[in-house]
Amino acid sequence: MSMRRLATFLICACAFALAGCGSATDAVTFKPPANYASAAQIGPFMQLWRGPQHSSMMLMAFPTKIDLDKAMTGSNFKDAQVLKQSSLQICGNQPAYYVSMIGTGDSLGSSSPGIRLEKHQVDLIATDAGGKTYMAMYVRPIGSPADATAESAIRNVCSKP
């Protein structure tokens, strides 16, 4: 599956969640770093924050669990350089899947056809919590220093007790 198809799938799956209520953080303890400001909330399933140096964070909540191993290991990120893909545990013993990649706006599904944006590093964590699948992403332009608090935040999509 190309990155554009994956992005389209994620958006379509999120649209299905509009029938739900609440917010993307209802079942998890995720909190963006203090230096990130809320930029958008799309229904109860997606929130976006803008940070320093043109970085951003996004949290998406899917209404049902997704087979993470199948979805992530079967993905083909077109025109994106995958730096690392691995299964890991977050929040103690909560299974998750991690992907780190470098891509342009075209490969990340975020620009108009023919328009190339600067390269970005994308770090993504996907995990299940409260009967839903959550994806947390930290995106920053290549060349800008990593924000340790943002990297830590995407690893703290922990199930609420």
How would DSSP label each residue in 103-152? E-TTTTT-S-TTPPPPPEEEEEEEEEETTEEEEEEEEEETTSPP-HHHHH
What average pLDDT does the chain have? 77
CATH match of 3-154 with 3.40.50: no
Helix (H, G, I), strand (E, B) or coil at 154: helix
CA atoms within a 13 Å half-sphere pointing along the CA-CB vector of 24: 25
Could you report how far apart the first and last alpha carbons of the chain are, in Å? 35
pLDDT of 10-46, one tens digit each? 554 444 444 444 566 667 888 999 999 999 888 778 8
How many helices and strands in the chain, by DSSP H and E? Answer: 3, 7
Confidence band, pLDDT 50/70/90 cuts, at residue 63 = confident
- What gap in Å lies between CA 100 and CA 124, rounded to an integer? 6
Contact criterion met (CB below 8 Å) for 99 and 82:
yes
Domain boundary assignment for the chain: 3-154
pLDDT tens digits, one per residue of 97-127:
999 988 875 444 444 444 445 788 999 999 9
